Amino acid sequence: MALSYSAAASGSLARFETSKRRRVLVTGAAGKIGSYFAEHASDEYDLRLMVMGSEEGIEPLRAHGEVVTASLDDLRRMKEICKGVDTVLHLAASADPETKWNDLLSNNIIGTYNAIVAARAAGCRRVIFASSIHAVSGYPGDMQVKTSEPVNPGDLYGVSKCFGEAMGRYMAEQEGLSVIVLRIGAFQAPENVHRGTIEAMDMFCSKRDLQQLICKCIDVESLRWAVFHAVSNNRFKRMDISDARELVGYEPQDDFGQLHPSLKELDLWENVKTACQSDGQQSGIRGDV
């Protein structure tokens, strides 16, 4: 089976260097993920926060780092703002699954190319690319998707994320730039779960869980390339998170079933058993050990 990661060097794949304070460029910093990351990461990293000049929500970002204005279609400018940066967290994109092709081409394909190439040209150590569950949403709904399985987009938006994943792998394997892809599920605040429906129960990703995973992906030293699935510790998971657990120590704290009022009372973790659970009965080997 093909691996969805590769190591930058021999030794432990979960090696971290914690003594060095990193400079992180965040594209799309005024968006939902970017603004939350900036608010909660400024004590840990030196942040350079990229925004579009016309975006709302720029002023609050100034409390969390250096705010710079740039456009993804300006490769020269992207190279400038990548200078002196350790990691580029590339979040900027057209995020609506119904986005038309011309906007996807400009923002999600050309823009992603420019962001990753600029990082390589500026000598950055790593890019973290915000992909999406839409890159694999073409698989049947009753299938849990592993990171080692081929992409299977369910819409053109997903196709654009597949391009970013392929571009990232090329840059990692052929150009020496470490790239980690995060396929992000349904990113929501816990309070929204209380008001919402159960449609997102298998792909919910809480703010603090995604924040944790992003930080672990910034700090890990030894990965050259990886794809991780960004969903919370839901009882049912549309995407498998085993790689993220094993390679960077991801420990999601939230579970849609424990947050949603219609599911919490069912206590899914306790009442829905798997085939390997024994309901308190001893395994046949227990009497011999």
CA distance 70 to 45: 21
The tokens for 277 are 């659970």
pTM of the model: 0.88
Give CA–CA dist 195/60, Å, rounded. Answer: 27
Please state the rounded mean pLDDT for residues 203-211. 95
pLDDT of residue 287: 62
Among candidates 217, 218, 199, which has minimal Cα distance to 263? 199
pLDDT higher than 70, residue 24: yes
* Spacing of C-alpha 179 from chain mean position: 12
Mean of the pLDDT values across residues 157-182?
Answer: 98
- For domain 16-288, the CATH class is alpha beta
pLDDT digits (tens, 9 = 90+) for 69-111: 999 999 999 999 999 999 999 999 999 999 999 999 999 999 9
- Residue percentage of the chain with pLDDT more than 70: 81
Confidence of residue 284 (pLDDT cuts 50, 70, 90): low
- Does the pLDDT at position 68 exceed 90? yes
What's the mean pLDDT in 8-37? 80
Q: Distance between terminal CA atoms of the chain?
A: 34
User: pLDDT at position 1, please?
Assistant: 38
Going along 52-112, which residue ranges are E strands? 66-69, 87-90
Residues 27-67 have pLDDT tens digits of 999 999 999 999 999 999 999 999 987 767 788 999 999 99
Output the pLDDT for position 128: 98
Examine the pLDDT at 195 and tell me if it is beyond 70. Answer: no
- Largest Cα–Cα separation, the chain: 70
Give the per-residue pLDDT at 231: 96
